[in-house]
Every structure is written in C-alpha cells, then in structure tokens.
Amino acid sequence: MARRLVVIGAPSSAGSYAAGQESAPRVLRERGLIGQLAAAGRDVVDDGDGPHQVWRPDRDRPRAQHLGDVIVSVEAVTRQVGAAIDAGCDALVIGGNCTIALGALSALSARFAEPGLLYIDRHFDLNTPSTTSDGALDWMGLAHALAVPGAIPELLSALARIPLLTSERLHLLGVDPDATTEGERRARADLHLVWRTGDELAQHPVSETQRALARLAPGPIVVHLDVDVLDFTDAPLAEDTGGRNSGPSLDAVAEALETACHDPSVRVLTVGELNPTRSAGEPEVLDRFIRVLARAFAAA
C-alpha cells in the first residue's frame, strides 16, 4: 500500500530573479491539487506552507540576494520534510525556487546514511557568488549541496552535512550543456558529474529515469523537478522562458515522474520555479501539470 503523502508549500521567491514563484503553492491548491492527489488514490495530508517571501532587489548583498531569507525557507522545508519522513510518509514540496531541494535532501541526510538526488533541471545550478553576477541563489543550489569552492559558509552551515552530497549520489537529467557559466563547466568536470541532456530525457524519459534510479539505489531518493526543463512552448510554467522549442514535453516529463514516484526508494518530490503568471494566457497548463502530479503519485 502506498505511503501517506504530505504536501508542503514553500512560497518563496527570495532566491529567484523576480517575484512570482511564491504564489505557486496557493495557485496549485486553488486549482485542486490536493483533491486530485486524493482522487488518484493517495492518502494525502496538506501540511501547509513555510514562510511567504516575495523577491525584491537586495541591494545590500547583490551577489547573494536574500541569503538570510533563503536559509529560513530551506530550514522550514527541512523541518517539514523531516516530520513527514519521521511519520513514515512521502512528501511533495511545491516551491518556490530550486533551493527547496537542499531542504529536502538535508532532511533525508539527517536520517539516512546515503540519500541520493535525482535533479531534473535545464541547469546545473553549480554557481557561486563569484561565478555569476546574477546573485540569484536558485542558480547556486547544487554548488551548495556539493560544497564547491566559493560556496557561502552560512548556507552550508544550515545543511545537515558538509557536503550534503557527493557526485556519486547525484544524477542530473534534462540539462542544457550550453546554458552554463564557465565556473559551472569547471565544477561539473572537476566533480565528474553524471548528467543527461534535455534531448536525451525527451527521447527516453522512462529508461533515463530507470537508469538514474538504479544508479542511486538503494536510496532514499529526492527527485527535484525544475519546470524550466520543459519545452516552454508546450508547457509555459517556468520563471525562465529560455526553453522555447527545446527540452522535453510535459508528456515526456510525466513519464519520467511516474517512473520515479512509483519507485519505493523515492521519498520526496520537490517542484521548483513554477511561476503561475507565465501561463496567464493559457491557465489550462496548470491543470495539465496537476494531472501529471496526480498520475505520478497515483496509488499502484
């Protein structure tokens, strides 16, 4: 029998490029997320939201904007996911930005020897304040999980271990190898990361996911989905609009998520960078996305 599923909101855009992602948990709930998960046969509990944080320019720390708020948000995710795991449940975390993956992985790392992370994202998120001038911490999450040189000590200290993750316990799907900074290309080579491109994920969503799960076995595993991996023309969900006419369709990602979430070693799915204003002209895509989540978590 499927474990109980705890839904957690992380309504923060503090680490983002602009406001918007903080409204994703509210909008998905309003469009029926909890009811559809229940209708798919899961025993669902809504654990509510962590701190509500709306991005604005951080002129005091422009290269690591809203570091303090990001840490508060990550720690809230860590607590809520930890409580769900302690209760024997699985968790679905709706962000927010991609730093939610740090919170989920930190919760598992405090409880298990070698949790793994399946990171489905168009980006490597291996930046530090010295490799990009953007100052958005959501493009720096894996750099902090892996504690690369230049990572911010305060953020590292908020995590269960330093490093939280080794290369052996990380598998990336859907990346665009060109959507990188020089610092990221250096880090991915130094760390010998295992990664597959968006084209590979689009063509073989099930087998690529199965390969990732086998590599990360026995888990437990956090699956992180940045919706920017999607072809924006097919599914305009992401803050980042750079994925027009490239990357997997929502149907392909649905197959990947279904494969992952039906594997008992997967305990947490985190969903980041969903900006509901992107789909204002075609809000039905939000309903398609909710159906994808419900299908992924459907009781077998």
The residues of the shown chain that bind Mn ion, judged by CB under 5 A, are 121-123, 226, 228
- Indicate the residue among 36 and 99 with the shorter CB distance to Mn ion: 99
- Indicate the residue among 115 and 174 with the shorter CB distance to Mn ion: 174
- Indicate the residue among 90 and 121 with the shorter CB distance to Mn ion: 121
- Indicate the residue among 89 and 148 with the shorter CB distance to Mn ion: 148
Count the residues in the chain: 300
Cis? peptide before 163, omega within 30° of 0: yes
- Indicate the residue among 37 and 98 with the shorter CB distance to Mn ion: 98
**Separation CA 91–CA 292 (nearest Å):** 16
- Indicate the residue among 41 and 242 with the shorter CB distance to Mn ion: 242
Min dist CB 97 to Mn ion, Å, is 9
Min dist CB 166 to Mn ion, Å, is 22
Min dist CB 175 to Mn ion, Å, is 9
Min dist CB 229 to Mn ion, Å, is 7
Min dist CB 272 to Mn ion, Å, is 8
**Separation CA 138–CA 127 (nearest Å):** 9
Min dist CB 55 to Mn ion, Å, is 16
Helix crossing, 67-86 with 100-109: angle to 10°? 40
Min dist CB 217 to Mn ion, Å, is 26
Closest residue to Mn ion, Cβ-based?
123
Measured distance between the N- and C-terminal CA atoms of the chain, rounded to whole angstroms: 8
Query: CA angle, 118 as apex, 3 and 252 as ends, to 5°?
Result: 85
- Partners of 170 in the β-ladder: 117
- Indicate the residue among 36 and 275 with the shorter CB distance to Mn ion: 275
